[in-house]
Chain A
Amino acid sequence: MIASRSTILSATEWLSARARWHPLEFVFWIVAFAAIYLVPDRHLILTEIAWLGLFALSLDLILGYAGIISLGHAAFFGFGAYTAALLAKYEIINEPVVAMLIAGVAAMMLGFVTSFLVLRGSDLTRLMVTLGVALVLRELANRYGWLTGGADGLQGVTIQPLFGIFRFDMFGHTGYTYCLTVLFILFVIARRLVNSPFGLSLLSVKGNPLRASAIGISVDARLVAIYTVAAGYAGIAGALLAQTTAFASLEMFSFDRSADLLLVLIIGGTGYLYGGLIGAIIFKFMQDYLSVLTPQYWPFWIGLVLVAIVLIGRDRISCWTTPIRRVAARMNWRTLGSPQVAAPTEGP
């Protein structure tokens, strides 16, 4: 039987639909880059949003695409941060970009080793194991104070100029451009990854591991792979924080940081990559606004928002963004032509 041509055309269209860039995505990134010139007085908070967005993107890769829940993602963040800060402090690697990449690779190695702990077990087991790993790392950093500075944090770090040219200034101008560029490049890579056959296999592993293995997928190997990649992303996010503040501290490993991260991702919604970025924007601006309004009690409002979101979401935590995404999908069709339009182009 020969497959009909029109079906093949629309099938190709549908299979690639997820990967196509949506007009709103262009708007999002143009605005983000335009902010370099338009709002120079807000670069400090925008820098924080950029690395936090990257950190949340990393969690989305494992939670939204592979179904691995974690309460210890700060382990990789802190590991990357300390790596970058130590490389700078002891002047081992002076180029920030190279140090950042090394921090990412170091975090990947840690991710690879610890990934075997999250392969088995329920969500609860995974929460506890990831939490435990982060606690262990934090205490190791505390114990080996001669290297890490212990409870005082790693002080006396000087970050050399980017490419030997651009100094990290106290207004975050260089920092924001740097973090945003790294975020954008890593976002594009993650976007390719989740829309590839490998990304599709992650969704299948998340959806039904029994069937995934019954079509020849090594479930464990796929989970190890994405956990390792996500750890690298988190490590780079940590490195960005360490480099833009010239500091690393035990707090970077803390439970609070992991928990906040989960909050950020849930605010933005899981499983479509932008959730972490949008969550980071909302979280940071809310924190900024509320901490001015009620310096002591701002977590109260964050908590209230979280409860509201989960109640609206109900069945699935990512649900509350679904209506927005549906509208976006409809706009996409009108602009780019629906798959049905593709069928009549069938040639002779």
Chain B
Amino acid sequence: MTLVLETIDLTKRFAGITATNNVSIQIAKGARHALIGPNGAGKTTLINLLTGVQRPTSGRIVFDGEDISNLPTHKRVRLGIVRTFQINQLFGDLTPLETIGLAVSERRGQGLDWWRIVGSRTDLVMEVVEILERFHLTDVIDARTAVLPYGKQRLLEIAVAIACHPRVLLLDEPAAGVPEDERHEIIAAVAALPTDVTVLLIEHDMDIVFSFADHISVLVNGALFVEGSPEEVAGDPRVKAVYLGEELVDV
């Protein structure tokens, strides 16, 4: 098993709470790795630490054998660690076309080009359109992102990340809040991600998790609780007690 991303004793404390507690997690190259846990378990904090949005209190993050704990977010993106957001973080005034066009031109290192007009590179436009077609966004290509239906915005969330050519893609609840009839588009988009991209998926929908993941880590109260194959995790009595049990109580 080749590791692509690894955390070593990663800890993040906010005033009074330990959001991430000594987490050592290993993500194998090409894995479909799911991260589950009850609300407040520290899943999003872990993503924030991996992407550099927050800095760990202690511990290290290693990507491809290199310590990246102190790299700023944009440099980690350049290395190939790309995320989506649980709550849409899009550019409301830009169109999907401009959004993807921006992501692709930045990836190609043309972001400091201040003289050429955005649409003047045919190969760039071709790649942008190809991505928009793949995510079924061609019918809203020139609409302001802020007015798109929620399901389309969720698709755009993933499309933007894909446009950055991730090597590790961190999906933070891609289907969160998507109405039932638009859900299948998101699930299909996640399932169709290229196999050479390693995926870490946070999701509450257990159908999606178990149909998608080949490895599951369970996070409880900021600490790694159980790890293993979907079968092992599903059969683990502790997980049932702590995680699934809580869900039953919720119902």
* Interface flag for B219 (CB, 8 Å): no
CB distance B92 to A207 under 8 Å? yes
Determine chain B's interface SS by DSSP, over half rule: helix
Per-position contact with B for A191-212: 1 when CB-CB < 8 Å, else 0? 0110111111101100110110
Q: Which residues of B contact A214 (CB under 8 A)?
A: 51, 73, 77, 82-83, 85, 89, 161
- Interface residue ranges of B221-239 to A (CB < 8 Å): none
Picked from A11, A16, A216, A219, the residue with its CB within 8 Å of the CB of B164 is: A216
* Known contacts A200-B118, A215-B106; A7 and B83 CB within 8 A of each other: no
CB distance B90 to A208 under 8 Å? yes
Bound complex: CA of A214 vs CA of B81, how far in Å?
A: 9
* Interface flag for B57 (CB, 8 Å): no
CB distance B133 to A215 under 8 Å? no
CB distance A198 to B114 under 8 Å? yes
Per-position contact with A for B107-129: 1 when CB-CB < 8 Å, else 0? 10011111111111010011011
* Interface flag for A218 (CB, 8 Å): yes
- Identify the interface centre among B90, B94, B102: most chain A CB within 10 Å of its CB: B102
Q: Which residues of B contact A294 (CB under 8 A)?
A: none
- Interface residue ranges of A128-176 to B (CB < 8 Å): none
Q: Size range of the interface on B?
A: 35 or more
What is the chain B residue whose CB lies nearest that of A20? B117
- Interface residue ranges of B2-41 to A (CB < 8 Å): none
Kindly list the 8 A-B residue pairs having the minimum CB-CB distance in the complex, ordered from nearest: A15-B119, A216-B77, A16-B119, A3-B129, A198-B114, A211-B89, A207-B91, A197-B105
**Interchain Cβ contacts under 8 Å between A and B, 26 examples:** A3-B129, A4-B133, A8-B122, A11-B125, A11-B132, A12-B122, A13-B119, A14-B141, A14-B142, A15-B125, A16-B119, A19-B117, A196-B114, A197-B102, A199-B118, A201-B111, A203-B93, A204-B102, A208-B89, A208-B91, A211-B91, A213-B72, A214-B73, A214-B82, A215-B160, A216-B78
Residues of A within 8 A of B (CB): 1-4, 7-8, 10-16, 18-19, 192-193, 195-201, 203-204, 207-208, 210-211, 213-219, 222, 225, 339
